[in-house]
Amino acid sequence: MPIELPDITVICPDPAVEHVFSSIHQRWEQLVKTSPPYSKGELFSLPFPYVVPGGVYQQLFYWDSYFIILGLNISRLHELARSIVNNFFYELKTFGIIPNSSELAHLSRSQPPLLTSMIEEVWRGDKEWLRSAYEWAKIEYKEVWMDETTHYHPQIGLNKYYDRLESMLRVKGEAYLHFDEMYIPPAFWHERVEAESGWDYTGRFHRQCGYFIPVDLNALLYKYETDLAAFARLLALNGEAEQWEQAAKRRKDLMNQYLWNEPFGMYFDFHFLNGRQHCYYSLAAFYPLWARAASKQQAAKVVRHLPLFLQPGGLAASNVQTGFQWDFPNGWAPLHWIVIKGLQNYGYDLEAQEIARRWIRLCTKVYLETGNMYEKYNVVDMSIRTVGRYPSQKGFGWTNAVYQKIAVDLLGCTVC
């Protein structure tokens, strides 16, 4: 769909970065889609324009969109950014969930909950819109993530990922196939749950994602609660704000109990059936820093582990080579932004700058060689020779956006 791109001028200290940045701005148009007014093929209809990742991914994805919005705002595509969030409100109204993507087969699961973070980026002082957005966010929080039959573990008081296989309808041509959970092999169900985590796939979860209390999910929901408290304050709903603040405090206390490992100085996922942490080193441990859920002492201990992940092209998702794409040696734009922002939150600006320089150098090198941005990269050999079940896709929404955000916030680029 053609859009009217704002006429911007990009100025960067590095001419190569300036060239790539300007090219990204021009390429947003290629990733904008509009649904027909009816569901078609494998995709359901959406009322507003949206941005797709690229490559084989030509649908609206939930967690991708937060990172994409960061770039759209830098490119001054503010209305497009808000239209993406309005589509998520439509999905909540229509399906009772923000699905993994706008593909019919993805209606049984969601993705990492970043709705309030998107609202924070796009509300731009419009309190009437914020009032409505606040109500939609409360619905997602209470009816999806705090549902004791799916995503909330009431005995532990923290959250897990899930997949509603029993209610899934998959459309293939004119055939509607209904899957009943009781006939689904456990391994297949866990695989689908892991897809909801966004980390599909990784050694973090031992192929049993449905039995884990993940660090990143609970950090995201801590941020969700603090965001809702901030929105409530802005809307003069002080009683509700206090309730959200209490919920966030309770979650942080439980994260410290179940997910923080003091001897290792690290956050780890908790296997609730086994009753123990899975001591697997991954960038998920930096989510509490991004969400400001860590103490200064905890942040300092987590930061000491950066050398486990730091490579010539930035950060590997983990320090373990499993053959899965969310592990070593692959690096991902969203994880780079989470870590960089988390480091900045606690005053580790030099570390953030170094990671930013390495990641931008890798993305710039590959772009100049190929003319494309990619979904994921090999941060060890500075290439797109990644591991996983499929090749790195061209496009690419969240890589484009994080490149822009890092270039402006950390590397001295300006947009005018």
Q: Which residues are catalytic?
A: 200, 375
Nearest to 114 by CA among 234, 219, 256, 210: 219
Hey, what's the torsion of the CAs at 40, 45, 48, 54, to 10 degrees?
-50
Nearest to 86 by CA among 40, 24, 35: 35
Question: Could you count the other beta carbons within 10 Å of the beta carbon of residue 395?
Answer: 23
Residues in the chain: 416
| Phi-psi region at 157: left, alpha or beta (left = phi > 0; alpha = psi -120 to 50) | left
Question: Cis ω on the peptide bond leading into residue 329 (within 30° of 0)?
Answer: yes
Question: Could you count the other beta carbons within 10 Å of the beta carbon of residue 311?
Answer: 17
The Cα-based distances of 82 to 33, 91, 120, 235 in angstroms read: 14, 14, 11, 19
β-strand 158-159 against 152-153: which pairing, if any? antiparallel
The rounded distance, in Å, linking the Cα atoms of 29 and 56 is 17
Alpha helices per DSSP H over 124-237: 127-140, 186-196, 215-234
